[in-house]
Structure 1
Amino acid sequence: MKTLLKAALAAVALSATATAPVLAEDIPIRFTLDWKIQGVHAWFYLAKEKGYFAEEGLDVTIDQGEGSAATVTRIMSGAYDAGFGDMNAIIQNAATTPETAPVMVYQIYNQPPFAVLTKTGGPIGTLGDLEGRKVGAPPGSASTKLFPALADAAGFDAEQVEVISVAPNLQEQMLIQGQVDGSLVFNVTSYLNIIGLGMDPDTDFTWFPYGAAGLDIYSNGVMVSPALLADHPEAVSGMVKAIARAMADVMADPEAGVAVIKQIEPLSNAELELKRLDFALTNLIRSDESKANGIGAVDEARLARSIAVIRDLYDLPATPEPGAVFSDAFLPPMELRAF
């Protein structure tokens, strides 16, 4: 598999600036999201609804997810070919099971969305105050998976924190009701959930971003299985191009993106999802780095530092090379990724 993967990457790299060819027949791709359908997934559904996937000869089926780290395990199990999930889970698996670990091909979240959420005026004044307290955490979430790494970076003992498994839709409620002292959250999800509950996320709650504690890491993007890379590299290029086109559309007209989400999930709150989408674009996607390199790309030096952090904090048996966890060979031209 390693040989096939390297060959596929090399072949695509030679024509990375070329337009991906239209395939002779539709190739099915099973795609898993990181979570339930939200405004931040608009580009995936818009690419399908506008026929961008079909133009690339792809038949893409999109399913809801169970956590951004769970996206990796879903792909490694063979149940899915591609998905939207966490870079750091790729790094961990690339160090332990490199033959089956997915490869990131389009980095969407340039900034990490992980945070510890607490109530303003509660017992948690610093991250160190979590010791001896309870935190709620969905078991498949990247925020949960990275909590020990956060503890090491912030200088508190994760073993002294009682981590309680909670359903994703109950995280904020359990915190509000005092059943837990903190929640391990995705800010892009919880921020808007709090607004939906009629509270102010800026004054009623305190946020402890993982990045501010020293974890300068990447997060969610589009990843694919080694099998898809080896067998259909042209399909990977086509899928990324279709998503990039849809992202450009959504960034130009966010309301149109949310309208597609409302069509797919009629019970969603369009006003709330529009705020969620704007929050993600402002806080997670647009950055000085992504402006310079284009959406979808990474800074290799930063990625190497991130890999070293994850290696050390998880005591991984090997240090994956940046090229083993991310490939830029499938990125479309800069004009499709600029903003």
Structure 2
Amino acid sequence: MRRIPRLPAALLAVVLTAALASSCGSGDDSGGDGGSSSGGPAPDRVTYLTGFGTFGREAYAYVAQDKGWFEDAGVDVTIEPGQGSGSSLAALVGGRVQFAPIDLSSTIIQLGGGRISGVTAVAAIHQTTDAAVMALADSGVEKPADLEGRKVADPAGSVIGALFPAYAKLAGFDADKVDWVNLEPQQLGVNLASGSVDAVGQYRVGRPNIENAVRGKEVVVLPFGTYLSESYGAAVTTTTKIATEDPDLVRRFTTALLKGMRYAIDHPREAAKLMHDKHPTVDEKTAAAEIGLVGTAVRPAEDGAPIGTMERDRVAGAIRTLVDAGAVRPGLEPEQLVSFDLVPKS
């Protein structure tokens, strides 16, 4: 019988260690880079910016994350608080984030003005523009023209400030006669309550947050949608590179995100509690009220149309309105703004 040569002890240890490692890793095809234990592909990792801080209106993204719907879609999502459309567009263009809800009118102004490129909307969050200015009823601000000579606070880079000149032109008053003050989102209600400013820029769905800050005083809301009637509000926005090269990722992410939206507006108290648990400074009652208003903004007017739908004719109308108001140069086409093949369909 042929004798098998005995391996030196040190070499034998190396062989056994390699065999054990191979056995333990036989179910992982990810190369040690975060693949699932079942041997599936590693999830796509993306960063999502909220539209505006961590208010109740942003609950849908946290719901999708908490319920595991992003995970089910094969997407590992990091959620970070946004600071308005301008900064979110810059973050997308700079590659720091992959998705963000950005007011479509702001994107029109930025793209049409040649200030940015390489971004595209893939689903509507709000079916109408949610931009507004809010003031206390006892301030004397009752109509848009009453803002002349007043001090209005708004975060730097917010869509409200970007849209304001077009809104003023359409509403028939002089935007140059309004004094703007830049404040962080959390400071708006406090400064309005104290009288430091006469009005604040705010999404319409943020009214409960402002009412909570001013402690029972009556609030006047001047919605931009009265004059920008064809405009969509916030839209899920990504880069054209991602939309072109990985449309499957876009669809998976958007589907999970909008599933979170549907659940949040159907269960506002649960979603508000989740927001409070994640961000203790969020008041549950105020957050639930905001989520209730979100529900009225996200549902399409057309029966049977899915949440997130966008129509080319309406996008063209929104562009035309801003061109007529002098906010953007002619020439921008809807397809430069929206990837209609990725928009949710019935």
TM exceeding 0.5: yes
Residues 161-210 of structure 1, C-alpha deviation per residue, up to 9 Å, x if partnerless? 2112222222233233322222222122243331354214xxx2222111
- Distance in 1 between residues matched to 2:345 and 2:134, nearest whole Å: 38
Per the TM alignment, residue 125 of structure 1 is displaced from its structure 2 partner at its CA by 3.5
1:185 aligns to what SS in structure 2? Answer: strand
In structure 2, relative to structure 1, the CA distance for the partners of 1:166 and 1:252 (3 Å cut) is closer
Aligned residue type for 1:164 = V
- Distance in 2 between residues matched to 1:276 and 1:328, nearest whole Å: 29
* 8 A Cα contact 1:33 1:64, kept in partner: yes
1:326 aligns with 2:343: no
Match of 1:304 in 2: 316
In structure 2, relative to structure 1, the CA distance for the partners of 1:133 and 1:244 (3 Å cut) is closer
1:207 aligns with 2:224: no
* 8 A Cα contact 2:108 2:328, kept in partner: no
Match of 1:144 in 2: 161
Per the TM alignment, residue 331 of structure 1 is displaced from its structure 2 partner at its CA by 4.0
Match of 1:76 in 2: 93
* 8 A Cα contact 2:165 2:327, kept in partner: no
1:189 aligns with 2:206: yes
- Give the number of equivalent residue pairs: 307
- Distance in 1 between residues matched to 2:314 and 2:131, nearest whole Å: 18
Moved more, 74-83 or 318-327: 318-327
* 8 A Cα contact 1:217 1:303, kept in partner: yes
1:239 aligns with 2:253: yes
Match of 1:277 in 2: 291
1:81 aligns to what SS in structure 2? Answer: coil
* 8 A Cα contact 2:120 2:239, kept in partner: yes
Structure 2 unaligned blocks of 5 or more: 1-39
TM-score under structure 2 length normalisation: 0.81
* 8 A Cα contact 1:69 1:86, kept in partner: no
1:329 aligns to what SS in structure 2? Answer: coil
- The structure, 1 or 2, with the larger RCO (C-alpha pairs under 8 Å, 6+ apart) is 1
- Distance in 2 between residues matched to 1:242 and 1:125, nearest whole Å: 41
- Distance in 1 between residues matched to 2:273 and 2:149, nearest whole Å: 45
2:117 aligns to what SS in structure 1? Answer: coil
- Distance in 2 between residues matched to 1:93 and 1:244, nearest whole Å: 26
Structure 1 unaligned blocks of 5 or more: 1-22, 335-339
Moved more, 205-214 or 62-71: 205-214
- Distance in 2 between residues matched to 1:99 and 1:144, nearest whole Å: 17
Match of 2:58 in 1: 41
* 8 A Cα contact 2:129 2:228, kept in partner: no
TM-score under structure 1 length normalisation: 0.83
In structure 2, relative to structure 1, the CA distance for the partners of 1:102 and 1:171 (3 Å cut) is same
* 8 A Cα contact 2:309 2:345, kept in partner: no
* 8 A Cα contact 2:46 2:76, kept in partner: yes
- Distance in 2 between residues matched to 1:96 and 1:214, nearest whole Å: 19
In structure 2, relative to structure 1, the CA distance for the partners of 1:226 and 1:210 (3 Å cut) is same
* 8 A Cα contact 2:192 2:214, kept in partner: no
- Distance in 2 between residues matched to 1:90 and 1:192, nearest whole Å: 26
In structure 2, relative to structure 1, the CA distance for the partners of 1:142 and 1:232 (3 Å cut) is same
- Distance in 2 between residues matched to 1:274 and 1:124, nearest whole Å: 28
Residues 100-119 of structure 1: matches in 2 within 5 Å?
A: 100-119=117-136
In structure 2, relative to structure 1, the CA distance for the partners of 1:252 and 1:205 (3 Å cut) is closer
Per the TM alignment, residue 258 of structure 1 is displaced from its structure 2 partner at its CA by 2.3
Residues 91-106 of structure 1: matches in 2 within 5 Å?
A: 91-97=108-114, 100-106=117-123
- Distance in 1 between residues matched to 2:290 and 2:176, nearest whole Å: 33
Residues 271-302 of structure 1, C-alpha deviation per residue, up to 9 Å, x if partnerless? 221111012212x223524x442210123222
